[in-house]
Chains A and B, each alone.
Chain A
Amino acid sequence: AQRVTQPEKLLSVFKGAPVELKCNYSYSGSPELFWYVQYSRQRLQLLLRHISRESIKGFTADLNKGETSFHLKKPFAQEEDSAMYYCALSAYNNAGNMLTFGGGTRLMVKP
Chain B
Amino acid sequence: GAVVSQHPSWVICKSGTSVKIECRSLDFQATTMFWYRQFPKQSLMLMATSNEGSKATYEQGVEKDKFLINHASLTLSTLTVTSAHPEDSSFYICSARVPLSGDGYTFGSGTRLTVV
Contact = CB atoms under 8 A, between A and B. Distances in A.
Contacts of A101: 43-45
A49 B95 contact: no
Contact of A52 (B46, B102, B107, B108): B102
A98 interface: yes
B110 A43 contact: yes
A75 B36 CA distance: 32
Contacts, number: 57
Interface in A38-73: 42-46, 49, 51-52
B92 interface: no
Main secondary structure of the interface of B (DSSP, over half): strand
Q: How large is the interface on B (under 10, 10 to 19, 20 to 34, 35 or more residues)?
A: 20 to 34
B44 A94 contact: no
Given A44-B107, A94-B57, A100 B102 contact: no
Contacts of B51: 95-96
B105 interface: yes
Given A43-B109, A44-B107, A104-B43, A99 B95 contact: yes
Interface in B28-63: 32, 34, 41-46, 49, 51, 56-57
Interface string A18-50: 000000000000001010100000111110010
Interface of A: 9, 32, 34, 36, 42-46, 49, 51-52, 86, 90, 93-104
Contacts of A93: 49, 57
Contact of A103 (B42, B46, B108): B42
Contacts of A97: 32, 97, 103
B57 A95 contact: yes
A90 B103 contact: yes
B81 interface: no
Nearest to A32: B103
